[in-house]
Amino acid sequence: MKILVLNGPNLNMLGLREPEVYGAQSYADLEQFIQAAALDADCAVEIRQTNHEGVLVDWIQQAYGAFDGIIINPAAYTHTSVAILDALKAVSLPTVEVHLSDISRREAFRGHSYVSAACLQTVKGQGFDGYRQALLALRAHIMGMREANLQ
C-alpha cells in the first residue's frame, strides 16, 4: 500500500514556529515519525512539504494512479483553498486530513475546513500521533475496499 503524505505551508518551520502550539520537534522529526509509523503499518509513504498552494494541487493530481491514498495537512490552506478541495474530489483517492493542533479550539477563522468535504475523516489536536492515526484509518479503509472488491 502506497500513501502520499502532503504537508502545507509553514510546517517546514516546526520547532521554531509557535512551539507552544506545535511543539519543539522539527519537521525532520515529523518525517522520521511518519516513516516509523508507516513501517509499523506495513505501508510505503512518500512525504512532501510545500508552501505553495498550486504545488499541492499538482501533487494531488499526480497521485492519481500512483498512490492508494493521501494524508494531507493543508495547514493554512485548510481554511481558504477550494482548489485543494477540488483536486481531492477530482482524483477521488481516499484521503484523511490531519492537523497537529486542534483547529476548532483556535482562532475563529480556523473553524472551517474546506478540505474536510473530500476526506474520510479529520484528525486534529493529536500532534505527531495524528499522522499515525490517519495512516491506520486510511489503511483500514483501503483494505476494506479491497476486500469488498474481492467479494
Please identify every residue annotated as catalytic: 22, 99
Decide: helix, strand or coil at residue 18: coil
Q: Are 66 and 1 in contact (CB under 8 A)?
A: no
Question: Both ends of the chain: CA-CA distance in Å?
Answer: 20
The H-or-E segment that residue 122 falls in is strand 121-124
Decide: helix, strand or coil at residue 16: coil
Q: Are 76 and 114 in contact (CB under 8 A)?
A: no
HEC states along 138-150? HHHHHHHHHHHHH
Angle at CA of residue 101, ends 100 and 102, nearest 5°: 130
Pairwise CA distance, residues 135 & 19, whole Å: 24
